[in-house]
A and B are shown apart, each in its own frame.
Chain A
């Protein structure tokens, strides 16, 4: 087995896991803006838990995409072009969501806020769903021809696995967000988040667990089966910890569930990165889709230095903003008095 392509397969699995771990909760918090928060103050509590960090979290997606381009150009090209429409939806969702975070508080009217709240909630939902569908399909396969191009038209990617993967990431993100809110907020929101977490854990994890299991039945190896079983154990642990009131540990246990789950999925499909459903001879693998050893070697050196650095300063960010946020911290919305708005100024008159 080639060493460098294997390392980069692992690196990309790490990047996707990092993305799902970090943006998982901020996508979930975005959806909870409409599902969970009961009033504007609660919505601002939710937003401010992710405010300083969501943008840094999203860069994990760009890095996963960029690393796939650099390390496995053929994987990147086939996956992204085959999933043209779903990725377009992801892009539009991410655009609206990002802009909404920044613009929501910039005008002090309910209709303005409400519009952007919907942009955050729907943007988060479609981004999570689309990323989940794309990840599921790269593990279960797409109708690719010998050149790696999609056959069968714009919707040929659609399958039950696309739906399952979409729901899986949406469900996981919602649960992860509840764990995050229980950890990062105080008062009523914290209490309710933990309650919801305990109550909803089985149903929200069912789809992602089904995806991991389905992959095991198709491609599983003994050690990836073991990872799935450990993942289920981590989920049960998270549930018990949350019920017992250990919010921080419950959050970590859910994180362990994610890491084990993605490990079992990526591990099972290895060394295939994108199977073809038309003919397994057209499968993209770490050998036939990768860049040269020179490029991979260069990237390895940079990543070996760069990735720990990223993790270190992002961890520091979480440390700086480690305080719990509660409704009492939310100042009233400020509606500023424009210095030169026409009606506010009548000196000359």
Chain B
């Protein structure tokens, strides 16, 4: 592998990893804010418990998003200096504004929320969380504005070989971004929905399994309690059934949201990046049909052995144009257009390194785009369907006793994560060989594009890149294990893991049976400055 390929692997790995934490942060943050609002308005104890429990998991995850986010900003300059020089005038602004207007808000107000339970008035405390949640959504907006400019460059003029921003409004209201932002936010909510559903299902199952909750003759749940374990009372049942239903509803709404916005994105992509659309379909020839399953080598460039086993006529046209008859261009008819517009070979310019003069591969890796597209839709749809089934199965107030259903619900948490990752891998790999894709708009700034081969830092050696690739991947892997272990510990711990005060309630007297719960029951200094995390 040469420097370019290593740098691409590094960007891919660190970004996909970062974007496991980010959607959970965005989605779960909103859910926790809504729940805390419910607590603020009703004062019901189960909402406080939900806020604390889901808030704790939110924070364990949040910090990983923060830690891995800095890498994202730094590596543009570190590994992609030519890219940074080329696009800096227009691409740097949304990144700087993200830090200044969004990330500052998010991290400062989240700090206030974490530590301010006692210091702030309840309304202010709640408002801090809302401000932080809005900050993280705003942060997503700025980042996607930057990304959308790479998919669909607008608002610039080429001056001295570099795109120079001339119309900030066009950049910040890029239609690519305006549909990608809601798509991403719904995708994030889908992750949160699955997370709530799976974990709440586990706890409801556990309560049934342990004999705490029973089911009456009519099939309705009879919540019980186990006095020996802190927090396993009747309110605990409410915590989980309510969480489960919120999760299921959120999962279904967000799937509908991703479908609608994804459809809009598809129609834009058909105009803006026709090759990506064709590659999503592994469509070599023009046509109208959407392939549900193609076999053979979907990655082959001439399509000789690709056979669409199941194909629905008209659907591809619908995805692209909104009717059932427009022929969607396949790879074979797009290729000559790309070659005519952007050349057949990389120019003989030292910026391309050893790739100078090589033939340009305009077709993305179709195995990735074809399957990425299908995994995104498939995982997303499965999660929504599962949520619907879950609502039906729990209509009488608890989950069935079957262990396999519980396992399915827990592992189902991964499906929306998979859909998010697949979607991003599809859209970024589908943009290749461009790092800034040309904008074929008739209004015309077609000459603003950049090949990925020209973007990497010329001064940075393959050795440096491989060092960072190995180091970051290893550290990320270790931290993922730590994070998941901590999450599992706190999930198993249930609400009391986030609310130790439940552990030393006055009713809880038989301390020998609940070791560890009463150890520090009466630490209540008059000025409890520190009723918090560290």
List the interface of chain A (C-beta within 8 A of B): 44, 47-48, 51-56, 58-59, 61-63, 65-67, 69-74, 76-85, 87-88, 91-92, 94-96, 98-99, 101-107, 145, 147-151, 153-154, 291-292, 294-295, 298-299, 302-303, 306-307, 310, 313-314, 317, 320-321, 323, 325, 328-341, 344-345, 347-348
Known A-B contacts A99-B479, A154-B461, A336-B516; the reply to A70 vs B96 at CB < 8 A is: yes
Kindly state whether residue B332 has any CB partner on chain A within 8 Å.
Answer: no
Q: Find out whether the CB atom of B92 lies under 8 angstroms from the CB atom of A69.
A: yes
Name the CB-closest residue of A to B457.
A81
A-B contact pairs, 23 of them (CB 8 A): A48-B529, A51-B533, A55-B107, A55-B108, A56-B108, A67-B96, A69-B84, A70-B93, A77-B77, A81-B78, A88-B464, A95-B67, A291-B92, A294-B166, A310-B100, A320-B119, A331-B520, A332-B519, A332-B520, A334-B520, A337-B493, A339-B497, A344-B229
Q: Which of B68-76, B175-183, B291-299 contacts A (4 or more CB under 8 A)?
A: B68-76
Contact A107:B489 (CB < 8 A) given known A62-B70, A94-B67: yes
Cross-chain contact B527 with A323 (CB below 8 angstroms):
yes
Is the CB–CB distance between B229 and A313 below 8 Å? no
Closest to A152 in B: B459
CB distance from A289 to the nearest CB of B (A): 9
B443-474 to A contact mask, C-beta < 8 Å, 1/0: 00000000000000111110110011001100
Q: Which chain B residues numbered 282 to 332 have a C-beta less than 8 Å away from chain A?
A: none
Shortest beta-carbon contacts, A-B, top 4: A73-B88, A80-B77, A70-B92, A149-B459
Q: B133 within 8 Å of A by Cβ? A: no
C-alpha spacing A150/B81, complex, angstroms: 11
Interface size for B (C-beta < 8 A) is: 107
CB of B534 closer than 8 Å to a CB of A: yes
Query: Are A69 and B77 in contact (CB-based, < 8 A)?
Result: yes
Return chain B residues, CB-CB under 8 Å to A94.
67, 70
Q: Is A149 in contact with B534, judged by CB distance below 8 angstroms? A: no
Q: B120 interface residue, CB < 8 Å from A?
A: yes
Given known A80-B81, A105-B533, A345-B229, contact A338–B492 (CB-CB < 8 A): yes
The A/B interface has a contact count, at CB < 8 Å, of: 321
Asked if B78 contacts A80 (CB within 8 A), the reply is: yes
Question: Besides the contacts A51-B532, A292-B159, A310-B108, what 12 more A-B pairs have beta carbons closer than 8 Å?
Answer: A48-B534, A95-B479, A96-B475, A99-B67, A149-B459, A154-B461, A154-B463, A292-B89, A334-B500, A338-B489, A340-B203, A340-B210
Residue of B nearest to A325 (CB): B529
A106 CA / B534 CA spacing, docked (Å)? 9
Considering the complex, give the chain A residue whose CB is closest to the CB of B533: A105
Chain B min CB distance to A278 (Å): 12
Query: Could you mark each residue 50-63 of chain B with 1 if its beta carbon is under 8 Å from any beta carbon of chain A, else 0?
Result: 00000000011011
- List chain A residues, Cβ under 8 A from B60: 102-103, 106
B515 with A337: CB separation less than 8 A: yes
CB proximity of B403 to chain A, nearest CB, Å: 14
- Nearest-neighbour CB distance to chain A for B428, whole angstroms, equals 20
The complex places the Cα of A63 from the Cα of B112 at a distance, in Å, of 20
Beta-carbon contact of A291 and B89 below 8 Å: yes
Residues of A within 8 A of B78 (CB): 80-81, 83-84, 87-88
- Contact of B89 with A339 in the complex, beta carbons under 8 Å: no
Does B503 have its Cβ within 8 Å of any Cβ on chain A?
yes
* CB-defined contacts of B90 to chain A, threshold 8 Å: 295
Contact of A66 among B73, B168, B516, B533 (CB under 8 A): B73
- Chain A residues lying within 8 Å of B533, measured Cβ to Cβ, are 51, 102, 105
Q: Are B96 and A55 in contact (CB under 8 A)?
A: no
Answer whether A81 and B100 are a contact pair too, CB < 8 Å, given A95-B475, A95-B479, A101-B534: no
Q: B164 within 8 Å of A by Cβ?
A: yes
CA gap between A314 and B90 in the complex, in Å: 29
> A77-B84, A320-B112 are contacts. A292–B165 as well, Cβ < 8 Å?
yes
B199-214 interface code vs A (CB 8 A; 1 in, 0 out): 0000100100111100
Per-residue A-contact encoding for B232-270, CB less than 8 Å = 1, 0 else: 100010000000000000000000000000000000000
Q: Is the CB of B523 within 8 A of A320?
A: no
Closest Cβ–Cβ distance, residue A40 to chain B (whole Å):
12
Min CB gap B427→A, angstroms: 23
Q: Which residues of B93-125 are within 8 A (CB) of A?
A: 93, 95-101, 103-105, 107-112, 114-116, 119-120
A330 touching B530 in the complex, CB below 8 Å, given contacts A298-B168, A317-B108:
yes
Is B5 part of the contact surface with A, judged by Cβ < 8 Å?
no
Considering residues B67, B78, B100, B211, which has the most beta carbons from chain A within 10 angstroms of its beta carbon?
B100
Q: A62-B99, A148-B85, A336-B497 are in contact. Are A52 and B211 (CB under 8 A)?
A: no
Q: Known interface pairs A66-B96, A106-B486, A149-B81. Does A81 touch B459 (Cβ–Cβ under 8 Å)? A: yes
B64 at the interface (CB under 8 A from A): yes
B337 interface hit (Cβ, 8 Å): no
Closest partner residue, chain A, to B110 (CB atom)? A55
For the complex, give the distance between the alpha carbons of A51 and B114 in Å. Answer: 9
Report whether B534 and A105 are in contact in the complex, using a CB–CB cutoff of 8 Å.
Answer: yes
- Tell yes or no: B147 within 8 A of A by CB: no
Complex contact A99–B64 (CB within 8 A): yes
Q: Across the interface, do B70 and A61 meet the contact criterion of CB distance under 8 Å?
A: yes
Residues of B within 8 A of A65 (CB): 73-74, 77, 99
- By a CB distance below 8 angstroms, the chain A residues around B528 are 329, 331
A73 B96 Cβ-Cβ under 8 A: no
Q: Are B81 and A88 in touch, CB under 8 angstroms?
A: no
B66 contacts A by Cβ under 8 Å: yes
Q: Is there contact, CB below 8 Å, between B494 and A340?
A: yes
Give the residues in chain A near B461, CB-CB below 8 Å.
153-154
User: Which of A66, A92, A307 sits near B471, CB closer than 8 Å?
Assistant: A92
- B198 contacts the other chain (CB 8 A): no
Q: Is the CB of B103 within 8 A of A62?
A: yes
